[in-house]
Structure formats: C-alpha cells, structure tokens
Structure 1
C-alpha cells in the first residue's frame, strides 16, 4: 500500500545549433497490498529481473499497482506524449493520435495528455 515516485528524464539536442531542451516527468505510484507468496511467485517468473523498479506496472498476473497519478507510460519507461509534445515544439511533425495510440497500447485511460497535448 506504499507509494513512490517514478521519474523519467527526456533530453533533445540539435547538434548543428547546440539547441537543447530537457524535461523531467513525475508519476506518483501507489502499490497494492500483496503477500510473500505473491512476491515469491512474481520473482520466480523472472519478470522483475530486468525492470528498473523491480516490477512491471503492466504485468496482468501480478498487477502490483493500486493506482497512480500522472503518466502511466512514464512508469513503463517512456512518457510518449511528453516526448511528442517536445518534438512538436521543435516543428517536427507528430501524428495527432499519439495519445490515443498510447492509451490503446497501455490499456490505461490517460488523464494527463489533455493538459499537455495541444495542436499548435
């Protein structure tokens, strides 16, 4: 039932001009209650062994997360809408359906993209 923060850093750099933009994306994650047998089975599955935080938010069998505030894709490893917004800010054409595609892939109803995803 404890919570923690997940941070991802994004940095874009244009070598020709040395133009750089950075952003840190924060997501608050609240874990669900689970017992020792569940943890042992999850570790035995091998799934957490290559995860930065020791769990996969998207793991349907273990389902470690009770809820979160912020970007679900950030917890998976790449806050896609945030990256797309930064690229758009540099004039790079990005499809308008990035938030929809991200939600379809994660299966999570995104509550943050509307605040940052605006058509220029």
Structure 2
C-alpha cells in the first residue's frame, strides 16, 4: 500500500485540508489541452446533488486516464467538487465580478445548501460520498456586496464566497461540515481513504 495519494484538484484549500488530516499527497493536475472547465457544465433540470456527484465522477475518470497516460506509480486518486444551491438553482464559480455580485445578491438573506462530493479510486475500486451542509447568510447591502467582490475573494469560488475568508462576517449560521463547505469534508474523506485500506 502506498503512503501517499494523488489529489486531482487545483484548490489550495483541499491541499491544506489533506495536510491537516496528515495525508501525504501529490497533485495530479490536468494537461493544458484538457477541458477541465467543460466537465462542470450542468445538464438542464439537474438536481444539485446529482450534478455535484456526476461532475466529481467525471473529474475522477479524467484523473485516472491522466495517471495511466503519464505512466505514474499507482496510488489512490482523490477528486472533489463543491456547489452551492438555492432550491434547485446551482451556483458554480462566477464568470466575472458582475456575475459574483449577482450571485451574492441572490444568496444574501437566505439559507442555502453547500454540497461537496468526494470520490477516491485505486485501481478498479471506487468509493464516493456526499457532504450536504446548510449556510445562512444575513442580508447584505449593495455596497457590502460591491466591497466584497472588489476584494477578489469571490472569484473561483462556488457561490462566489469563501466560508474561511471575509464572507464569514455575513454568515449567521452553519449546519453541517465546515471543511465540506471549504471544499473537502474531512470526516467523509477519512472514511473513504480508510475504505481503500489507506492508513490515517
């Protein structure tokens, strides 16, 4: 059994969370010609939980193929994807500052869900899990939204905010997994890795 895993994610937060668990990992990032953004397109009327699980599976398929193509040593591969949902509306990463402001205006004053799917694979064995958390945002003024967007923090984040950043000042309640909202639910991740026989 290997003493490390591959993390197929560009998120520095996921890497930090694996460090916190004491999991040695190497990044297995897409090649320049891989369409990793294309994997995140939603299907019409797709439920948020189905969407995030499907996207995570596609990312893992791509990572498994990448490992083979590069001829790298075998080790468990971990993929994860996070989405924010208000009802059946899926909030991915904002396209730009204007899109981020729109998302935040819609999420302000609501209780919404943050869904993070995790999947791990070693050789032919694949395991997955879903973390489902609820986040309550206080009302936000247009000026507060504008200032937050200007900080640059919302870009590249599902739902246009980072729970571990400045957005924390607008979050009145969290039910669920804090690390899951950050992008990698540690309890579920530890269970999946143990399920593959990985020593934690």
* TM-score, length of structure 2 as denominator length: 0.43
State the SS of the aligned residue for 2:192.
helix
Flag the 1:9–1:31 CA change in 2: closer, same or farther, 3 A.
same
Does residue 80 of the first structure (1) align with residue 186 of the second (2)? yes
State the SS of the aligned residue for 1:37.
helix
Considering only aligned residues, what root-mean-square deviation do their CA atoms show, in Å? 1.6
Does residue 5 of the first structure (1) align with residue 113 of the second (2)? yes
Are 1:12 and 1:22, in contact at CA under 8 Å, matched by a contact in 2?
yes
Flag the 1:72–1:61 CA change in 2: closer, same or farther, 3 A.
closer
* Structure 1 stretches of 4+ moved >3 Å: none
CA shift for structure 1 position 91: 2.1
Are 1:55 and 1:64, in contact at CA under 8 Å, matched by a contact in 2?
no
Are 1:27 and 1:69, in contact at CA under 8 Å, matched by a contact in 2?
yes
> How many positions carry a matched residue from both structures?
92
**What are structure 1's unaligned runs of at least 5 residues?**
95-120
- Equivalent residue for 1:59? 165
Does residue 27 of the first structure (1) align with residue 136 of the second (2)? no
State the SS of the aligned residue for 2:133.
strand
Separation in 2, partners of 1:20, 1:37 = 46
Please identify which structure carries the higher helix content: 2
* TM-score, length of structure 1 as denominator length: 0.69
